[in-house]
Amino acid sequence: MESRRQGDHSKIAINSTRIKDERKSQKGQRSRRLLFSLAVLLTLFSPLINRPVLAQENQDKYVAEKLSVYIEPGFGSIEVYSRNIPFASFVNEKGKANVVVEISQSVEEGREVFKIRFIGQKELLGKDYSTEITIPLKPEPEVLQKELVQAIKLGLIPYAGRTPEATKLKIKLEEEVKPTAVVDPWNFWVFSLSINSFLNGEQSLSYNNLYGNFSANRVTPEWKIRVSLSGSYFRNKYEYEGLNYTSSSQGGTFRALLAKSLGEHWSIGSFANVTTSTYQNIKVGASISPAIEYNIFPYSESTKHQLRITYSLDVGPSYYREETIFDRTKQFLVKENLSLTLELKKKWGTISSSIEGSHYFYDFSKYRIEFNNNLSVRLFRGFSVNLYGGYARVHDLISIAKAGASLEDVLLMRKQLATSYSYYLSVGLSYSFGSIFSNVVNPRFGSGNSGFSMSISY
């Protein structure tokens, strides 16, 4: 009896275990069927779910037909960027670009820092960001150009990804290559030589004119060297009622500038000047002019604006061809000069104004004050209207000949005449086209030998 009960209990336990196993199997089957059904539904409806997202991505991907880039002048030529960044088109006008690249330069902890800002325009409006590169001080122009090209190239890739050119872009990690020194056989010197002549004549008159000029310039971010030598010769011959009149004049000038950069605001330099002129009654005049300059704005912003204060001191002898109105045939002169120059560069053009004053130390009444202005307005691409004007109060003409000037001298402009003022006004048109090549920009002491006025004669 007890053995039978035990057998019945064993059967019940086995049946209970079997029922549980069957229930688990049924649940597993239902779960697998549910997962399979969901997978089928996701497969069937996934194109409908993803289609709006893909459409939006494709719509945003090519928002511009091409990438047009404008880089502010002063940091390389368009040709260099076009050659090294083929997926972009570089333009000369900011208004025709959909990406504008602005570059600013500063010195931080003994290194050059170039901050590069990318500004989206037109179709890419609102897509702005910035980056920067840091390189050692006094970089060679080729090294600086290469670093800027690489940084701008990388910065333009996100914009290129929104143009059809994106399909042609490939990202590749190059092996590290040791830098090689750039060899310039000219050591950054640029030379210029010109000779011009003009001959004209007829039965009763003849006119001969000869002019020559030689210049040598070396401009780097740290140094500016300018040297020029020029000479001229004029000869006129007239025949009237059996009388012959001959007039001739000649002159020559040597000018030099050596300037050294001292950070973002200061510069020091020295001018040298040697002059000879029959018109000014100067046999030989020479001067050395140490100078110092302070720019209110950082020099790295010279492509936008400059406000330069320049002081120089001219020291040297003067020898005159004829005795002057002050009974001098020679004298040693010391003269100081102070100038203030403002230059503004805008989208529509450039404006420049300067005021300069100078005087001789031996007589403070011998002074000169000059105002000079230049306005250049761009009307359309490459075409500009230029306006130049200036006025000077002149009280420093110490080389005028005591003997005065004859009627012939006055009519033929062979001698300088006394005056208390002078002025000039010029209006012109200019048109430029083709590639624009920009070398290193160094605005210190202006574009030439400005910043001092010195006429040393004997």
Give the predicted TM-score (pTM) of the model: 0.55
Q: What is the pLDDT along the chain (458 residues), one digit of tens a residue?
A: 444 544 554 444 445 555 555 555 555 566 556 555 555 444 444 444 444 433 344 445 566 677 888 888 877 777 788 888 888 888 888 888 888 998 888 877 778 888 888 998 888 888 888 888 888 877 777 788 888 888 888 888 888 877 787 777 666 655 554 544 555 677 778 888 888 888 887 877 787 888 899 999 888 778 889 999 999 998 888 777 777 777 788 999 999 999 998 988 999 999 999 999 998 899 999 999 999 999 998 877 777 888 999 999 999 999 999 999 999 999 999 999 999 999 998 878 889 999 999 999 999 999 999 999 999 898 876 678 899 999 999 999 998 888 877 766 666 666 777 788 899 898 888 776 543 333 444 556 665 544 333 333 22
Count other Cβ atoms within 10 Å, centred on residue 312. Answer: 24
Fold exhibited by the domain 192-431:
Porin (2.40.160)
Which token pair is 428? 């012109």
DSSP 203: S
pLDDT at 402: 86
Q: Which residue has the tokens 């020099």?
A: 299
Please determine whether the domains at 68-168 and 192-431 fall in the same fold group of CATH.
no
Q: What is the amino acid identity at position 10?
A: S
Q: Could you please report the per-residue DSSP string of 52-88? A: HHHHHHHHHH---SS-EEEE-TTS--HHHHHHH-TTS
252, 231 in Cβ contact below 8 A? yes
Phi, psi dihedral angles at 95 (to 5 degrees): -70, -20
Measured CA distances, 194 to 2, 231, 251, 315, 412 (Å): 134, 11, 16, 30, 26
d(CA 65, CA 3): 93
Measured at the CA of 123, the angle between CA 55 and CA 129, to 5 degrees, comes to 100
234, 209 in Cβ contact below 8 A? yes
Q: Where are the domains of the chain?
A: 1-61, 68-168, 192-431
CATH code for the domain defined by 68-168:
3.30.160
- Contacts made by residues 234-238, CB under 8 angstroms, sequence distance 24+: 234/208, 234/209, 235/207, 235/208, 235/209, 236/205, 236/206, 236/207, 236/208, 236/412, 237/205, 237/206, 237/207, 238/204, 238/205
